[in-house]
Amino acid sequence: MAGLRKRFGATPALDGMSFTVRSGVVTGFVGPNGAGKSTTLRVVLGLDTPDAGWALVSGRAYRTLHRPLCHVGSLLDAGALEPGRSARNHLLWLARTQGIATRRVEEVLELVGLAAAARRKAGGYSLGMRQRLGIAAALLGDPPVLLLDEPFNGMDPDGIIWARSLLRSLAAEGRVVLVSSHLMGEVQEMADHVVVAGRGKVIADAPLEDLLARH
Ligand code: ADP
Ligand code: ADP
């Protein structure tokens, strides 16, 4: 995306946010709370319109999207969880709305380790299980671009280790994988490249090794 600007009232949430994410590597998007990470991802997903600037995905530039990009999967786009609905039914409903074969639901449940818990009501899920369900939802359409906003929030250490290795293998298959976090420590174990955001713009954009070597 290039030159994204957005204000909510007097607060600039995005103040010229610009960076490019490559495929085949995991890119960490790091910065303190309020740095503009979620707003950036929301603009790319078409859930927010910037006041200025452009998002560009797969060669198509836009400020406003009139329909969701079916080749971008995101936790932000996973659909509101109805507490009374089971994880499997939630995914089946999403698959139906996106025209995805129901067989794929069983595959993603397996992939995120929720197959055994798939019939339980999502309302009883821990935060870590909800994150897994969100990742499953993002992966339903087997998208070449994955944008994950704080996927490690509420995950236990085993879950974080599992998620890191899943995201690395998804990137190694040639996908674009962008993972936001307010903690550098969460991404430095898995990111090849890191974009650091602060106050709505990019402060650093470099391979992880270069960033670590500066400190
Ligand atoms: P981050 O994801 O890095 O925590 P956000 O993109 O959520 O940052 O927020 C950036 C700034 O924009 C913050 O000051 C936040 O409070 C503000 N903001 C984000 N979304 C809204 C909104 N819908 N209405 C008002 N202010 C918002
Ligand atoms: P994150 O830490 O991932 O940015 P937040 O809790 O900041 O999440 O924001 C969650 C949602 O609330 C987002 O959709 C964001 O746009 C919105 N939001 C954030 N800050 C504000 C705000 N000050 N006023 C209204 N909505 C906000």
Q: In what order do the strands lie in the sheet with 2-8?
A: 11-17, 2-8, 52-57, 60-62
The pLDDT, as a whole number, for residue 61 is 86
Give the range among 44-48, 59-63, 205-209 with minimum mean pLDDT. 59-63
Counting ligands in written order, the one closest to the CA of 76 is: 2
CB 43 within 8 A of CB 4: yes
In short, whether 198's Cβ falls inside 6 Å of ligand 1 is no
Q: Whose CA is nearest to atom 13 of ligand 1?
A: 34
Ligand 2 center to residue 34 CA distance, Å?
8
pLDDT for 70 beyond 80: no
Ligand 2 mean position, distance from CA 198 (Å)? 16
Is the distance from CB of 120 to CB of 131 less than 8 angstroms?
no
Model pLDDT, residue 113: 94
Q: Is 33 in the pocket of ligand 2 (CB under 6 A)?
A: yes
